[in-house]
Amino acid sequence: MQKIAVLVSGGGTNLQALLDAESAGRLPGGKIVLVIASNPTAYALERAKAAGIEGIVVRKKDYNTQQEFDSAMLNALLSRGIGVIVLAGYLSLLGDPVVKAYPQRIINIHPSLIPSFCGAGYYGLRVHQAALDYGVKVTGATVHYVNEIYDNGKILLQKAVEVQEGDTPETLQRRVMEQAEWQILPQAAAMVCERLNQEQKEEAQG
C-alpha cells in the first residue's frame, strides 16, 4: 500500500476528486495520508480536515533559500513514509532534491492537452484563455510524471474535452475539470500505486 501526499495551492477540487475516488474504492493500492499546502489559506486544507487527513503548510517564503525549502519539503514527505506525490493544482516548482528522491513517483495534472498551452506561466484560467484565444476546438487535461521542468515529464493519461461556442475561460475550466481532470487524476494515481506495489512485490520475491 502506497502512502500518498497531495500537494495543493488553492480550493482543492482535484484533491476532493482523489478523496472521493478513494472512498469509492478506486484507489486500491494507495492511501492519502497527507495534504501539503503552499499557503495557509488554501481551502484544500479544510477538505483534508473534513476527511480526517493531516494537512500542513510548507511555504516557500518561510525559508531563506530554495535549499532550505526543499529540505523542509523532503523532511515532511520522508518522515511520514510517503511513496507517491500527487500535485493537484500546486503552483510551486518542486526542487531537484525532491524530484530526485521520488523518481517516477510524482504526478501532476495540467488543464490542457500537453504539449499545447503548458510550461511556465500557464496555470489556472490563463490556460483556458490561451486555448480560446487560439481558437482550438478540442482541449482537455493531461496527467504526467514530474521532472525538473514545468509540464515536461512523460505523459501518463490524457482526456479530450470539446470547446463550445460562447465558452468563457470560466465555463471551459469547469467543463475540463468535470469531464477530464476529476476522472484521469485518480485513475493515474491508482496506476502509479499499482505499478510501485507490483515492483515491490517482485523485489520481495527476489
pLDDT in tens, the chain (206 residues): 999 999 999 999 999 999 999 999 999 999 999 999 999 999 999 999 999 999 999 999 999 999 999 999 999 999 999 999 999 999 888 999 999 999 999 999 999 999 999 988 899 999 999 999 999 999 999 999 998 887 889 999 999 999 999 999 999 999 999 999 999 999 999 999 999 999 999 999 97
110 is catalytic: yes
Q: Which residue in the list 47, 105, 110, 175 is annotated as catalytic?
A: 110
Looking only at the bridges linking them, the beta strands covering 54-57 and 2-8 are unpaired
Q: Are 100 and 77 in contact, with CB atoms under 8 Å apart?
A: no
pLDDT at residue 44, rounded to an integer:
97
pLDDT at residue 151, rounded to an integer:
80
137 is a domain residue: no
168 is a domain residue: no
For 199, residues 6+ apart whose C-beta sits below 8 A from its C-beta are: none
118 is a domain residue: no
The domain tally of the chain equals: 1
- For cell 503548458, the residue is 118
CATH number of the CATH domain containing 34 = 3.40.50.170
pLDDT at residue 170, rounded to an integer:
98
51 is a domain residue: yes
Q: Identify the domain containing residue 64 by its residue range.
A: 2-110+143-156+182-201
129 is a domain residue: no
For 140, residues 6+ apart whose C-beta sits below 8 A from its C-beta are: 112, 113, 158, 159, 160, 161, 176, 180
Angle (nearest 5°) at CA 50 between 46 and 51 = 120
Cβ atoms < 10 Å from Cβ of 123: 17
Cβ atoms < 10 Å from Cβ of 126: 13
